[in-house]
């Protein structure tokens, strides 16, 4: 457990030392949202209708940006070999790194989403559900993203490849999350969709550390 | 002749039906041809290399 | 050095596939014309869909085979990861392009069916959308496989991906169903026809076509696997010759 916390603390500290990475992810999120009214036109009713979906798509893309650094930094500096050889099972190491990744990218996304929803003229009824759904969805993004990041560590090209592998798997998160917010905006009960998001998080917690660890072992062979 | 044209028109939806069949045929045949070509290329490369190696060229099982 | 011996002796597969391949390809070559005859000539137009129902005979088996291909790929990858069976890796790699072609056919024919029946080329209908995502999963597999310099590593990375994807496929299908509920909720009304209820006169062309697709799948799988094995042998022969050449250069032969 101590080792687990140590890895989380180390990654968060490293991320805080390079705050510009986190800031640029959030800035990308904001910029992508700002581009929509510019591209579609500033009609308020239209913006209100597309607000939930737009915010979710932008959040997904912003989360993709930070993924290729998740293991690549360790791999380049040789720390990955140490993590593989560490007494802590590699699956737990992956879980710790995902937790750290969520703390430095997922949480800022959750916090900035409500502010952006005001920019898009989204109704206030969706606020609470938006935050809850994001809180359930962003850890799933980190976990599934970690699989993509781990599998491409040893590959010739990372970056775009990670998004290509991960985004199709993330479509359920997008559909469930955006639908939940839209249901809440329509005054309907969004709890079932939130529970489904939670179920998906559980599946991801069970499956993704194993897959990512297998990918990392492959990369260090 | 009229019956023939009528058949190809397929009640007005002929162009959709025939293009669907054409696309399917194109994709299936294209993939098959590409696979067989690369197989042939690999086999002849293998035979040449084995001849260089001093062994007699042989295509494993005598199959085309 | 691993590669030298790993593929050195799948002779049994080469012999066996050499026996099966002619039969499978003959079945494919024979059943396609029969299926086409049944589908295009010897079957009645549908009451609702009129003549466009004929597209179903190449569309539905393509969808079946696409799902079947993905399942086979996941199974082969699991075998490869657990038992490190080299042929299983080759099988998964060989299935991927064939499966991608099946999804492509499914998408294009579905769209060509949608235009005359729904009045639009594309509907974000649950089945079309999930097949589209399946297509991206196939493409992702192939791209990841090619992104590694060492093909054995590429095979294992892509295998892990395909197993994770396989677990998520039901979730994707389920969430896409929810997407469809949402369009109904918003009242985007595309008048849709339910899945064609299968009448006996439609069953035979469908089954023969499915058999033809399956035979095609097996033939192509075997050809591509044989091709991959030969490629591995070529690679090992090249390495052996290069080693011999370098050894000869270092130690000159004595009379």
Q: What is the pLDDT of residues C157-167, one digit of tens each?
A: 999 999 999 99
Number of Cβ atoms within 10 Å of the Cβ of C232: 21
**% of residues, chain C, pLDDT over 70:** 83
- Of residues B24, B28, B46, nearest to C234 (C-beta): B46
How distant is the Cα of C141 from the closest Cα of chain B, in angstroms? 18
Q: What is the pLDDT of residues A150-206, one digit of tens each?
A: 999 888 876 788 989 999 999 999 999 999 998 888 888 888 899 999 999 999 999
How distant is the Cα of C241 from the closest Cα of chain B, in angstroms? 8
CA distance A183 to A18: 38
> Which chains sit next to B, with 3 or more Cβ pairs under 8 A?
C
Contact residues on chain C for A151, CB-CB shorter than 8 A? 144, 157, 160-161
CA distance C62 to C103: 7
Q: Has residue C183 got a pLDDT over 70? A: no
ipTM above 0.90, yes or no: no
B-to-C residue pairs, Cβ atoms closer than 8 angstroms: 97
pTM of the model: 0.87
Mean pLDDT of chain A: 88
Q: What is the pLDDT of residues C21-55, one digit of tens each?
A: 888 888 888 888 888 888 777 766 665 567 777 88
CA distance A79 to A73: 8
Q: Is A164 strand, coil or helix?
A: helix
- Provide the residue range defining the domain that includes A47: 2-220
Q: C220 and B32: CB-CB below 8 Å?
A: yes
Which range, A13-17, A40-44, A55-59, C201-205, has the best average confidence (pLDDT)? Answer: A55-59
Mean pLDDT of chain C: 82
Residues 6+ positions from C72 with CB-CB distance below 8 Å: C91, C92, C95
A130 closest CA partner among A73, A96, A179: A179
Instruction: From residue A47, give the alpha-carbon distance in Å to each of A126, A128, C215.
Output: 14, 19, 51
CA distance A45 to A47: 5
CA distance C60 to C65: 9
- Of residues A152, A164, A175, nearest to C176 (C-beta): A175
Q: What is the pLDDT of residues A100-145, one digit of tens each?
A: 999 999 999 999 998 888 888 887 778 889 999 999 999 999 999 9
Contact residues on chain C for B55, CB-CB shorter than 8 A? none
CA distance A148 to A163: 8
Contact status of C235 with chain B (Cβ, < 8 Å): no
Helix axes C126-146, C86-118, angle to 10 degrees: 150
Selected residue of B10, B17, B27 to mutate for chain C interface (largest C Cβ count, 10 A)? B17
In chain A, how many domains are there?
1
CB A189 within 8 A of CB C141: no
The two tokens of residue A70 are 């998740």
How distant is the Cα of B1 from the closest Cα of chain C, in angstroms? 16
**% of residues, chain A, pLDDT over 70:** 100
Q: How high is the pLDDT of residue B28?
A: 92
Half-sphere exposure (Cβ direction) of C88: Cα atoms closer than 13 Å = 17
> In this structure, is the dihedral angle defined by the CA atoms of residues C214, C215, C217 and C218, taken in order, positive or negative?
positive
More confident of the two residues C173 and A170: A170
Q: Is C50 strand, coil or helix?
A: strand
DSSP characters for B7-29? Answer: HHHGGGTHHHHHHHHHHHHHHHH
Q: How high is the pLDDT of residue C204?
A: 82
How distant is the Cα of A155 from the closest Cα of chain C, in angstroms? 5
CA distance A92 to A168: 25
């Amino acid at each position: 457990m101590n080792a687990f916390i140590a890895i989380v603390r180390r990654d968060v500290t490293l991320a805080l030392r390079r705050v510009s990475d986190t800031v640029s992810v959030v800035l990308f999120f904001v910029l992508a949202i700002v581009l929509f009214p510019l591209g579609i036109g500033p009609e308020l009713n239209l913006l209100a209708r597309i607000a939930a979906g737009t915010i979710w798509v932008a959040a997904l893309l912003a989360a993709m940006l930070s993924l290729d650094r998740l293991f690549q930094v360790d791999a380049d500096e040789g720390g990955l070999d140490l993590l593989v050889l560490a007494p802590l099972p590699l699956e737990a190491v992956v879980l710790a790194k995902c937790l750290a990744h969520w703390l430095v990218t997922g949480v800022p996304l959750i916090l900035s989403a409500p502010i952006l929803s005001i920019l898009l003229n989204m109704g206030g009824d969706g606020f609470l559900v938006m935050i809850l759904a994001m809180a359930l969805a962003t850890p799933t993004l980190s976990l599934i993203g970690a699989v993509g990041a781990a599998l491409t560590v040893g590959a010739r090209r990372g970056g775009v490849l990670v998004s290509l592998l991960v985004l199709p798997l993330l479509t359920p998160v997008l559909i469930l999350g955006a639908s939940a917010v839209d249901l809440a905006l329509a005054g309907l009960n969004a709890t079932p969709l939130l529970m489904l998001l939670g179920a998906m998080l559980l599946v991801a917690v069970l499956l993704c550390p194993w897959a990512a660890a297998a990918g990392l072992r492959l990369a260090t062979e | 002749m009229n019956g023939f044209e009528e058949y190809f028109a397929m009640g007005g939806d002929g162009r959709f039906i025939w293009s669907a069949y054409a696309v399917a045929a194109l994709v299936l045949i294209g993939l098959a041809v590409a696979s067989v070509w690369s197989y042939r290329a690999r086999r002849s490369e293998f035979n040449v290399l084995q001849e260089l190696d001093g062994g007699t060229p042989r295509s494993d099982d005598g199959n085309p | 050095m691993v590669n030298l011996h790993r593929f050195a002796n799948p002779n049994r597969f080469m012999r066996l596939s050499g026996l099966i391949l002619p039969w499978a390809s003959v079945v494919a070559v024979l059943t396609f014309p029969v299926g086409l005859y049944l589908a295009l000539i010897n079957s009645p137009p549908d009451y609702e869909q009129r003549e466009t129902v004929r597209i179903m005979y190449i569309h539905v088996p393509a969808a079946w085979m696409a799902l079947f291909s993905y399942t086979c790929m996941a199974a082969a990858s699991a075998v490869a990861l657990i038992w490190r069976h080299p042929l299983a890796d080759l099988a998964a790699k060989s299935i991927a392009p064939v499966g991608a072609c099946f999804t492509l056919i499914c998408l294009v024919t579905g769209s060509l069916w949608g235009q005359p029946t729904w009045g639009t080329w594309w509907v974000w209908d649950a089945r079309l959308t999930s097949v589209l995502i399946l297509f991206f999963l196939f493409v992702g597999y192939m791209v990841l496989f090619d992104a590694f310099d060492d093909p054995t590593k590429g095979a294992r990375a892509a295998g892990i991906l395909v197993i994770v994807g396989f677990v998520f496929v039901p979730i994707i299908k389920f969430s896409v169903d929810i997407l469809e509920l949402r369009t109904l909720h918003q009242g985007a009304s595309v008048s849709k026809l339910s899945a064609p209820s299968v009448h006996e006169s439609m069953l035979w062309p469908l089954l023969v076509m499915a058999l033809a697709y399956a035979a095609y799948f097996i033939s192509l799988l075997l050809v591509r696997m044989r091709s991959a094995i030969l490629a591995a042998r070529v690679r090992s022969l090249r390495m052996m010759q290069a080693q011999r050449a370098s050894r000869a250069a270092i130690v000159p032969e004595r009379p």
